[in-house]
A and B are shown apart, each in its own frame.
Chain A
Amino acid sequence: MSATLIALATIFSQLSLLAFGGGNTILPEMQRQVVEVHHWMSASEFSALFALAQAAPGPNMMIVTLVGWHVAGWPGMLVTSVAKFAPSSLVTVSALHAWDRFKDRPWRRIAQRGLVPVTAGLVAASAMLIAKASDQAWIAWVITGVCAMLALRTKIHPLWLLAAGSLIGLTGFGQ
């Protein structure tokens, strides 16, 4: 097993256990490890992979698979997927019984509520880092801003926003 695969396994199993509040909270750490610590890709390549994963169906963690594949091909994809999905799944399985037993204990609600602001800060950090890496041209900032507004204020399906952004990008206008 190569050093790269071991590094992927270490990074993503740690991220797996730290992903409180879903996948988007660990994007900054993933980017830090993959871009700044290991120099496997540039920040803009990372956000391109993030964009690809967003355009694909499925849970929003598919960037993990893509990063593993980009770094070390099929073995990388396999190692990264197992490292990312197995540890958190084992936690879920072991918590299943305890959760039912402690259903009505006050601390369960307090812990749940206490994680919300932490998650909020991390997702906001993800949003800023991804936007900064994605948006070099002014037109990109406009697309990001308009998409954010539309996603907040309307019920337009996200896929339409991704498609519209891609089309505007394709014209090359403002780039």
Chain B
Amino acid sequence: MKHNLASSPTGASVTPKDEAPSVRDLFLGFLGLGFTSFGGALPLARRAIVEQRRWLSASEFTDLLGLCQFLPGGNVINLSVALGMRFKGWRGALAGLLGLIAGPSLVVIGLGVLYEHTQNDPHVRHLFVGLAAAAAGLLIAMAAKIVLPLRRDPAAAAVALLGFIAIALLRLPLLPTMLVLTPVGIAVAARAVRRSGETR
């Protein structure tokens, strides 16, 4: 099953193809995505799946992503599994997942080998102080992007604060923390939805 991309428009209003991708297409598609997505795979995943390969329409993508963000696991990892499963069943799911993580696994192990061989070199140590500090900065920015919108919702902000205290300050295990906080978070959300009179 070969796809001819020659006639595909690259504008915003692309429609998905009629023909479902093959297992091989799924593997190669996610392999390419894994190799090229630096700094988070999500923005690239959208472009590749909706605009370039036209496997899904924009709204189908958003809906499937909603599921993947809701479930445990990395968003794009879940997306590769869900998309593969939807098109080609178990083999498709496996092809998507393996495609996505094969390349990055090899690259990251290569970097790990390099690091272990050179970590006693003072230059490498210095470089790593800078790299790790920058990576921490990116993580802080990501946390801020999720936390800041909670300003308008004091009850939700309190749940977030409790989670932060339990994990970062008290160093409690994750499982019991989540077993307590998740129902509280859902109760808070249910109350907020009731109050605003939303019914669906």
Chain A residues with CB under 8 Å of chain B are 14-24, 26, 28-29, 32, 36, 44, 47-62, 65-66, 69-70, 77, 81, 85, 88-89, 91-93, 95-96, 99, 103-104, 106, 109-131, 134-137, 139-141, 143-152, 157-159, 161-162, 164-172, 175
Contact = CB atoms under 8 A, between A and B. Distances in A.
Given A17-B72, A113-B189, A117-B185, A140 B135 contact: no
B77 A109 contact: no
Contacts of A128: 164, 168
The 4 A-B pairs of least Cβ separation, nearest first, read: A169-B130, A121-B163, A58-B104, A165-B134
20 contacts: A18-B175, A26-B174, A50-B135, A58-B101, A59-B76, A85-B77, A89-B81, A93-B93, A96-B67, A114-B186, A117-B153, A123-B146, A127-B142, A131-B136, A134-B135, A141-B133, A147-B137, A149-B141, A158-B38, A169-B127
A18 B146 contact: no
A110 B74 CA distance: 21
B5 interface: no
Given A24-B139, A59-B76, 11 more contacts: A52-B112, A55-B135, A57-B35, A58-B101, A59-B34, A88-B78, A118-B178, A135-B136, A144-B140, A165-B135, A167-B130
Interface stretch (B16-24, B47-55, B192-200): B192-200
Contacts of B160: 117-118, 120-121, 124
A151 B174 contact: no
Contacts of A120: 143, 146-147, 150, 156, 160, 163
B13 to A, nearest CB: 24
B111 interface: yes
A126 B139 contact: yes
Nearest to B45: A59
B168 A125 contact: yes
B12 interface: no
Interface of B: 34-41, 63, 66-78, 81-82, 85-86, 90, 93, 97, 100-101, 103-105, 107-109, 111-112, 115-116, 119, 122-123, 126-147, 150, 153, 156-157, 159-164, 166-168, 171, 173-175, 178, 181-182, 185-190, 192-193, 198-200
A85 B72 contact: no
Contacts of A16: 72-73
A93 B75 CA distance: 13
A126 to B, nearest CB: 6
A93 B127 CA distance: 41
A57 B38 contact: yes
A107 to B, nearest CB: 8
Contact of B122 (A52, A58, A99, A172): A172
B174 A117 contact: no
Nearest to B144: A152
